[in-house]
Amino acid sequence: MKKLLIIGTVWPEPTSSAAGGRMMQLIHWFHQANWEICFACPAEESEFSFPLQDLNIRKETIILNDPSFDAFIIELLPDAVLFDRFMMEEQFGWRVAQNCPRAIRILDTEDLHFLRVARQLAVQENRELTEMDLKNDTAKREIASILRCDLSLMVSSFEMELLHSVFHIDEKLLHYLPIQVKGPYSFEPTFEERSGFVTIGNFRHPPNADAIRFLKSDIWQLIRNVLPNAQMHVYGSYPSPALLQLNHPASGFFVHGRAENAMEVMRKARVCLAPLRFGAGIKGKLLESMICGTPSVTTRIGAEGMQGNLSWNGYVCDDASDFAIAAEQLYTSKNDWTKAQANGKHILESLFESDAPSKEFIARVQSISKHLDEHRLVNFIGTMFMHHTLQSTKYLSKWIEEKNRKV
C-alpha cells in the first residue's frame, strides 16, 4: 500500500471554510485509490477540526524548525508528500527532499496567494491591477515553491492560464483539480417560501471580511432604499469584534457568526450576495449557493474560474450601484430568479460534477512515481531552486533550532 503524508497548514475544518472541504476531498480521493494516509500539522486542533481518526488516518503534531520532523519522516517513509499551501513547502520541503528524496512532492495551492495579495493592494490604493503588482515578493516565494515541487494542484482554470501566460510555468508541473460536487440537487424551498439575503464565509480570510465591510458601507443602504423590509444575514466562522459591530438590526443587517448548518442557511435565503473586491481561487459560498438553488450576485473576481462560457447563477457586477440594482431585480423577479437557478444547475453539471480530474490526478501521481528521475530532469529550474533552498532555508532553520535550544 502506497503511503501519503499530508503536511497541513491547519487541521481541516470542512464546516468552516472551502479550504477545509477541499482538503477532505483530496483525502477522499487518495482513500479511494487505497493509499495509507498520515496527516501532520504544526497548528493546534480546534473543536471544529474533522475527526480524521474516524477515517483511520494517522495524526501527527509536528514542530517548525525542529529536527524531530526528520526522525518522523524517515520512520514514515512516504511515497508522496502533499503540502497544504506553499508556506508548508517552504518550512518542510527541504527536509522532505533531504530525508525522502524519492517521495513525490505535491503542492496544493488552494488559490494563488500572490494574486490575492496583488489585488488587495490595488483595492487599498483604489486603482486597477497591473502586471507589476502580480510580480510581488509573495509571487517570488510561491512560484519558487511550485517549481520545487513535482506537481502543483490548481483549483481555478483562470489561475492555470495566469501561470502559463505570465510566469511561463510548464504544464507538466500543474494539474487542474477543481472542487467536485455530486447531484441530484434539491432546490426546495420555492421562491415564495424563501426570504432574505445571505452571505457566508470564513472571516479569517481577508477577502471575506473586506466584502462584508463593502456590503455594509456601500451597497446595503441602496438595497434597503428599494426594499425597506429586506434583511441581510451574514454568517461566518471566526468573526472579529470589528465585524460583529457591523450588526445593525434596525437597518436589517444581521451578523450572526458561525452557522451551525451552512447549507440549511443558504437554502432558506432567496439570494446570496458576495461583493468580493479581491481574492483568488474558487469561492465555496458561491458553489454552495448553486447546490442549494440560491441565485447570487457577485463580482468578476467572485465568479472567476467558476463559469467558463456559461451564464452566471444570477448577476455579476463590480459597481456598488449596479450590484444593488441586480440584487433587487433578482430578489423580486421570480422569472429572473428561476432562470438564474437553472443557470447554476447547468454550471454544476458542466464544470464541477465530473470525477475525471480526480482520477486523472491519481493516475498522474502514479505515472510521475514510475518516471521520477525523467520528470525532475525536465524541471531543471526547479532542481536548481531546491539546491539553493537546501543551502539557504536549511541553514536558517538550523540556526533557529540552535537559538531555540539555548533559550
Residues, the chain? 407
Rounded average pLDDT over 129-155 = 96
Q: Which CATH number fits domain 3-180+355-406: 3.90.180.10, 2.60.40.10, 3.90.1200.10, 3.40.50.2000?
A: 3.40.50.2000
User: What pLDDT, in 10s, does the model give residues 175-211?
Assistant: 999 999 988 888 999 999 999 999 998 898 999 999 9
pLDDT of residue 388: 67
Return all residues near 294 (Cβ < 8 A) that are at least 6 apart: 194, 198, 266, 267, 269, 270, 271, 272, 341
46 HSE (CA, 13 A, CB side)? 12
The pair phi, psi for residue 253, each rounded to 5°, is: -110, 110
Per-residue confidence band for 391, with pLDDT thresholds at 50, 70 and 90 = low
Give the model's pLDDT for residue 404: 72
Q: Which residue has the cell 533559550?
A: 407
What is the CB neighbour count within 10 angstroms for residue 174? 19
Q: Which three cell numbers stand for residue 172?
A: 507538466
pLDDT over 70 at 345, yes or no: yes
47-60: pLDDT as tens digits: 999 999 999 999 99
What is the grid cell recorded at 329? 431585480
As a whole-number percent, the residues of the chain with pLDDT over 70 amount to 96
The region that residue 85 occupies, defined by phi over 0 for left and psi between -120 and 50 for alpha, beta otherwise, is left
- Residue 267 in contact with residue 293, Cβ under 8 Å? yes
How far is it, in rounded angstroms, from Cα 359 to Cα 348? 18
User: Are 163 and 170 a contacting pair, CB within 8 Å?
Assistant: no
Amino acid at 170: D
Are 177 and 183 spatial neighbours (Cβ–Cβ below 8 Å)?
Answer: no
Q: In whole angstroms, what separates CA 177 from the centre of its chain?
A: 12
Return d(Cα 93, Cα 79) in angstroms, integer: 14
- The SS3 call for residue 106 is strand
Q: What is the pTM of this model?
A: 0.92
| DSSP 8-state assignment for residue 249 | G
Q: Is 302 in contact with 278 (CB distance < 8 Å)?
A: no
Which of 52, 56, 55 lies closest to 11, judged by CA? 52
pLDDT in tens, 143-161: 999 999 999 999 999 999 9
DSSP-derived secondary structure for 335-379: HHHHHHHHHHHHHIIIIIS--HHHHHHHHHHHHHHHTHHHHHHH-
**Nearest C-alpha neighbor of 104 from the set 95, 94, 96, 114:** 96
Burial of 237 (0-12, 13-18, 19+ CB in 10 A): buried
Angle at 179 between CA 167 and CA 306, to 5 degrees: 65
Residue with the three cell numbers 520512520: 75
Q: In the numeric block, which cell numbers belong to residue 43?
A: 497548528
* pLDDT higher than 70, residue 406: no
Average pLDDT value for the chain: 93
Is the confidence at residue 403, as pLDDT, over 80?
no
pLDDT band at residue 379 under the 50/70/90 scheme: confident
Interatomic CA distance for residues 25 and 169, integer angstroms? 26
**Cα–Cα distance, 407 to 404 (Å, whole number):** 5
In sequence order, the 6+-apart residues with CB closer than 8 A to the CB of 151 are 104, 105, 106, 107, 173, 174, 175, 364, 365, 368
pLDDT band for 323, please (50, 70, 90 cuts). very high
* CATH 3.40.50.2000 segments of the chain: 3-180+355-406, 197-352
**Contact (Cβ atoms closer than 8 angstroms) between residue 235 and residue 199:** yes
Q: How confident is the model at residue 337 (pLDDT cuts 50, 70, 90)?
A: very high
CB 209 within 8 A of CB 217: no
- Ordered DSSP codes for 21-65: HHHHHHHHHHHHTT-EEEEEESSPP-TTS--GGGGT-EEEE--TT
Q: Is 296 helix (H, G, I), strand (E, B) or coil?
A: strand
Domain 197-352 sits in CATH 3.40.50.720: no
